[in-house]
A = this chain, B = another copy of it.
Amino acid sequence: MSATQILDGLIELTNLLQADQDRELGAMGLNQTRTHALWILHHGGPVMQRDLAEAMQVTPRHITTIVDELIESGFVLRVPHPADRRAVLVSLTEKGTSAMEAMVVDHQKLAGDLVEGLSTEHLAALQQGIAHVTTRLAALMAAAHPEDDVTQARDGS
């Protein structure tokens, strides 16, 4: 019986986490998609729109829109590609960089706050449990749908 409780609890937690993140991002004029783009830039440095599209699994057309919006709000800018005149490099502005740095700090602080009060043993058990469930779920999904690989990692902001 408690298996269902765990899954339900996980789903509830999921929804809260999402709501919290969406609100946090919304206050800065961001959403999940745009933040994902910033995350990639923050980690990998300037990239071509084409590569961004591939990394985010969206169409090149959509990237145009995403970058337009991020430029509008001052997080990134387009710079000419030094070697290919067809292409542009999308690069974080100073504002974009500091926003991402702040996001990392907030994320770590949130993580600490959430587990505050748990014993070391419970912490370890929780971490193992999450890993276990994630592995099982990935396996089940892979078994049910062998065609598409779920190897995609999402950002952790």
Contact = CB atoms under 8 A, between A and B. Distances in A.
Interface of A: 2-20, 23, 107-108, 110-118, 121-134, 136-138, 140-141, 145, 150, 153-154, 156
14 contacts: A2-B124, A4-B107, A6-B126, A7-B111, A7-B114, A8-B111, A11-B17, A13-B133, A16-B138, A20-B140, A113-B140, A118-B129, A123-B129, A126-B133
Given A138-B16, A154-B15, A6 B125 contact: no
Given A10-B17, A19-B150, A118-B129, 6 more contacts: A5-B127, A12-B134, A16-B137, A113-B136, A116-B136, A122-B128
A18 B14 CA distance: 9
A117 B121 CA distance: 19
How many copies of the shown chain assemble into the complex? 2
A133 B150 contact: no
A128 B107 CA distance: 22
Contact of A6 (B19, B127, B133): B127
A15 B18 CA distance: 10
Contacts of A108: 3-4
Nearest to A6: B127
Given A125-B121, A129-B129, A137-B17, A115 B3 contact: yes
A48 to B, nearest CB: 25
B123 A154 contact: no
Q: 7 shortest A-B CB distances, which residue pairs?
A: A126-B129, A125-B125, A7-B111, A3-B111, A8-B156, A9-B130, A14-B14
